[in-house]
Amino acid sequence: MVKRAAVWMEGAMKIVEYFESQEKNALLEAVGHCQWEAAKFLWNLLMENSFEKTLGDNGKLFFLLEEEKVVSFLTLTTQDCIVAPDQFPWIGFVYTFPQYRGRHCAGILLEHARKCAADAGFPFVYLATDHVGLYEKYGFQYLENRKCIHNTESRIYVVPASDITGTADAMQRTARRVIQRLEISEAWQSIGAKVRMVGSMAMGLLMKHRDIDFHIYTDRLDGAESFKAIARICAGENVTRMEYRNLAATEEACFEWHVWYNLDGEEWQIDMIQILSGSQFDGYFENVVGRIKAALTPETRRAILELKYLTPATEHIMGIEYYQAVIADGVRTYPQLTQWRRAHPSKGINVWCP
């Protein structure tokens, strides 16, 4: 997490961060006076210096004070009671002392935590709770129910932090660096192939999954010739592996090439489907890409990016499902997408096109 000011002040109230405070003993004592079981657990984490081990590195513990008395506190960390390595940061341990309740004091801390996450470039902040109707007042949206580490159901909420389109645009720029470094177009063109980008990258809808898709068109499926192009692509030391599938004798009539490339510690997957020029698939998916791009508006693009971002890594959703749900059927939230998928179960190749 990036830092905001160690002390935020407005009138008689101020926010302090525990690990940056000179008054740790007084703050710790306040947590210790709580009768809430979760607060007792937090107190033990602080006393045993196991806060980061349990909740992740660089976590924050914010306190709202009024005239130097603790009003509320909460945490902002990369881990919480929900096991979801691909989803963070999490707000947790939200507590307001009884004598201060009814004044929306927790809302001040929630907004401060949201701004901290925004400063760090996170599009969303997550929160797990068993409360219904509490966090909605502060702009949180219900996402879904999940089992927590205690094997009980928790309600998962999210609140927007930074503009998700900025995150997506950064992903697109990084993807272009990968393409340039691997010289994908140059390698295939050296054997006379035509290279066309398809998929999320081609539509400006790349989000969390670092996948780049290409269709490669050649007059014949010649493995020996194609390996010349792949050898050039894989010559770089940052290529970690390659896979090849010969589907020339199947109905799909193609070669599949998959290359994994490490850029700055992150692995990218490049999928290259080699297709016969003039076959039934020639240009089909490129046409779908063009139609979707033409149908996109800034609002529907943002909705698709948000849904992709909020999808857990354990849930596999085809890109075309997002596009159809949002563009054709007005889906805007993850619960709506879940309901939409139940009503539109996937059955092989989705041929929807706007």
**83-95 pLDDT tens trace:** 998 899 999 999 9
| DSSP E strands, 187-290 | 194-198, 211-218, 239-247, 254-263, 266-276
353 assigned to some structural domain: no
Asked if residue 183 lies in contact with residue 233, where contact means CB atoms within 8 angstroms, the answer is: yes
Q: Which element (helix H / strand E) includes 108? A: helix 105-119
Domain match, 195 and 241 both? yes
Q: Give how many domains the chain has, as a whole number.
A: 3
User: In terms of domains, do 201 and 228 share one?
Assistant: yes
8 A C-beta contact, residue 337 and residue 322: yes
Output the CA–CA distances (angstroms, integers) from residue 329 to 79, 236, 323, 326, 339, in the order listed.
34, 44, 9, 6, 12
Please check whether residues 336 and 269 belong to one and the same domain. Answer: no
Question: What pTM did the predictor assign?
Answer: 0.89
* Radius of gyration of the chain, Cα coordinates, nearest whole angstrom: 25
187 lies in the same domain as 279:
yes
- The answer to whether the beta carbons of residues 58 and 43 sit under 8 Å apart is no
**Does one domain contain both 259 and 318?**
no
Q: Which run of H or E residues covers position 335?
A: helix 334-343
Whether 68 and 204 map to the same domain: the answer is no
pLDDT at residue number 342: 96
Name the domain boundary from 274, 289, 304: 289
Q: Which of 135, 162, 189 is the last residue of a domain?
A: 162
DSSP 20: G
Q: Which domain holds residue 272?
A: 166-289
Domain boundary among 162, 192, 224: 162
Residues 6+ apart with CB under 8 A from 305: 164, 165, 167, 168, 205, 207
CA 327 to chain centre: 21
How large a percentage of the chain has pLDDT more than 70? 97
Distance, CA of 179 to CA of 189 (rounded, Å):
14
Co-location of 92 and 184 in the same domain: no
What pLDDT score does 6 carry?
55
Residue 123 and residue 173 share a domain: no
Query: Quick one: which H or E segment has residue 69?
Result: strand 69-77
Please report the pLDDT score of residue 45 as a whole number: 97
Residues 151 and 202 in one domain: no
Q: Which CATH number does the domain housing residue 126 bear?
A: 3.40.630.30
Domain presence at residue 348: no
Residue 1 has a pLDDT of: 56
Residue 136 and residue 254 share a domain: no
pLDDT string in tens for the chain (354-residue length): 555 555 666 667 899 999 999 999 999 999 999 999 999 999 999 999 999 999 999 999 999 999 889 999 999 999 999 999 889 999 999 999 999 999 989 999 999 999 999 999 999 999 999 999 999 999 999 999 999 988 999 999 999 999 999 999 999 999 999 999 999 999 999 999 999 999 999 999 999 999 999 999 999 999 999 999 999 999 988 999 999 999 999 888 999 999 999 999 999 999 999 999 988 888 989 999 999 999 999 999 999 999 999 999 889 999 999 999 999 999 999 999 999 999 999 887 788 999
